[in-house]
Amino acid sequence: MSIYESNLEKKGLKLDWLTFAVLGTIFFSVAGVLDKLLLSSYTDDSKAYIVCQILASQLFTIPVFLIVGAKFVYPESLIAMLFGSLQVFPSFFYIKALQIEEASKVTALEYVYPLFVFIGSVLLLGEVLELKHCAGGLLLLLGTLLISHKKNGSYGNGLYSNSSNSNSLNSKPFLRALSPALKPFMSYWVLTAAYYLSLKYLLVSIDEWNLYIWSSLGSLIVILPLMGVSSIRSEVKSFFSQGGMAVGALVSEETFQFLGIIFSIFAYAIGSVTLVSSVGALQPIMTVLLILGLGILMPKLAKAMNEKTDWSSLKQKGISFMVVAIGIYFIS
């Protein structure tokens, strides 16, 4: 139980982890769509974009620090900084996947990490592995293959091509038809699961706001060496010099990202780490709905995202989302 939760319970207030988790998922969905738009319109350098993100996130970290204050608790504050810094690396894999794949497919692939959260909770926390959990894990893997598979062809052109391994891919039609975003997500799932498994331990000793502050500081420390690379520094400067539209879109993305992080942290403080992670299965569906709405209101922006919204693609995504959602249900 978190410090914040305990204080509210003393006041007779009841918190619902599911409300926090669903709201966090909605905010993350909007942030993901904005990420895709920014990468499509303003920069193609994933490292520079993440630097821009973390710099912009300080617009929220600094006010939180000034209002709430930061309490140093040894060693939890240092661990929060460590995991905040490590969380930057999954971001590189996520952005890389977002550059080469549709946003809805990326979010579907992203939320396979609850399977690794469950495995970690079994190995580290001693939770019992039941048959339905194993079935849920298999359904998650099946949903991942379904969402990443390209019908009537393969990922062999344009951004998806890779001359260094084209010969081996040609001899393996099944692998050639899978999304190239699968590869960067292998590391993403493990690192993200490790991050969320650490939250429960940290939230026993520090509150949610301090966890956010120290994690944010860890992320900021990691990008400082990247700012020393001339090419990245030049790309960051170029991004911010593109005017109010680019900067405004980035600040909007970080606003939703900040809300998603805060609501998720509170959800993890109150609920089970496995259950809260499982709610993320809703994000791919929310992403598709947001993109469809964007296509109606702003067709040009939707087109820039290269999201396939034809009936065949929507049917494939719908079936995949259902399989993933059922898998998440069994795991939780």
Of 92-96, 209-213, 256-260, 292-296, least confident by mean pLDDT is: 292-296
CA 230/CA 166 separation, integer angstroms: 32
- Is the pLDDT at 224 greater than 80? The verdict is yes
Asked whether residue 165 is assigned to any structural domain, the reply reads: no
- Tell me the DSSP string of 310-324: SHHHHHHHHHHHHHH
Note the pLDDT of residue 301. Answer: 63
State how far Cα 86 lies from the chain centre: 14
- Residue whose structure tokens are 């999954």: 90
Q: Is residue 193 part of a domain?
A: yes
pTM: 0.75
Among candidate residues 131, 111, 123, 107, the one with its CA nearest the CA of residue 331: 131
The reply to whether 162 falls in a domain is no
Which residue in the block uniquely carries the two structure tokens 């719908």? 318
Tell whether 260 is covered by a domain: yes
Going by pLDDT thresholds of 50, 70 and 90, the confidence category of residue 16 is confident
The whole-angstrom separation of Cα 317 and Cα 151 is 12
What is the domain count for the chain? 1
- pLDDT score recorded for residue 40: 79
| Cis peptide leading into residue 299 (ω within 30°) | no
3-class state of residue 196 by DSSP: helix
Q: How far apart are CA 289 and CA 222, in angstroms?
A: 34
Q: The tokens of 100 are what? A: 């080469």
pLDDT digits (tens, 9 = 90+) for 167-177: 443 444 444 44
Residue 311 within a domain: yes
- The C-alpha atoms of residue 247 and residue 252 are separated, in whole angstroms, by 9
**Is residue 161 included in any domain, yes or no?**
no
Other CB atoms within a 10 A radius of the CB of residue 262 amount to 20
Q: What range defines the domain where residue 258 resides?
A: 3-156+170-331
Query: What are the residue ranges of helices labelled H in the chain?
Result: 3-10, 17-41, 46-68, 76-86, 88-100, 103-110, 113-125, 131-148, 166-170, 173-176, 182-202, 208-227, 230-240, 244-270, 273-279, 283-297, 299-304, 311-331
pLDDT digits (tens, 9 = 90+) for 286-323: 777 787 777 667 666 656 666 666 677 777 777 877 77
- Which tens digits make up the pLDDT trace of 63-109? 999 998 888 988 889 999 998 888 888 888 788 777 777 776 777 67
pLDDT for position 136: 74
248-251: Cβ within 8 A, 24+ apart: 249/34, 249/37, 249/38, 249/42, 250/38, 250/52, 250/53, 250/56, 251/56, 251/59
Q: Dihedral of the CA atoms 103, 233, 211, 25 (nearest 10)?
A: -10
85 in a structural domain: yes
Asked if residue 90 lies in contact with residue 195, where contact means CB atoms within 8 angstroms, the answer is: yes
Question: Counting beta carbons within 10 angstroms of the beta carbon of residue 64, is it exposed (0 to 12), middle (13 to 18) or buried (19 or more)?
Answer: middle
Domain annotation covers residue 164: no
Q: Of 23-32, 94-103, 155-164, which range is least confident?
A: 155-164
Cα separation, 258 vs 24, in Å, equals: 9
- d(CA 262, CA 24) in angstroms, rounded, equals 8
